[in-house]
């Protein structure tokens, strides 16, 4: 597996075969994604300029998702009763 930046203009999904098993990935414009580096589809996308190999220190998408702040629960604001 290798990390790539997707430079396409549309969000797209792909199902590839890795070790005889299906591997699904979503590609979002400008985001990094981990894909099998020897796959023919990946090689084609690199040649077309849609995937650019990048060097990262950790897991790209997984680390970014975990780093986000926890969501605030949507509770109704407190209201004061009229006296």
Q: Tell me, what's the pLDDT at 23? A: 95
Return phi, psi of residue 54, to 5°.
-130, 150
Say what the pLDDT of residue 1 is. 92
Predicted pLDDT of residue 43: 96
Distances in whole angstroms, Cα of residue 82 to Cα of each of 24, 78, 79 = 56, 13, 9
Residues of the chain with pLDDT under 50: 63-68, 73
pTM to 2 decimals?
0.64
Q: Which pLDDT does position 76 carry in this prediction? A: 52
Q: How far, in Å, CA of 8 to CA of 66, rounded?
A: 25
Helix (H, G, I), strand (E, B) or coil at 63: helix
Res 53: pLDDT: 95
CB 23 within 8 A of CB 34: no
């Amino acid at each position: 597996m290798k990390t790539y930046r997707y430079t396409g203009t549309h969000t797209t999904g792909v199902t590839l075969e890795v070790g005889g098993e299906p591997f699904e990935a979503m590609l979002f414009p400008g985001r990094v994604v981990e894909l099998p580096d020897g796959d023919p589809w990946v090689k084609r996308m690199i040649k077309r300029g849609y995937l650019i190999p990048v060097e990262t220190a950790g897991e790209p998408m997984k680390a970014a998702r975990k780093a986000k702040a926890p969501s605030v629960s949507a509770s109704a604001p407190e209201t004061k009763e009229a006296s």
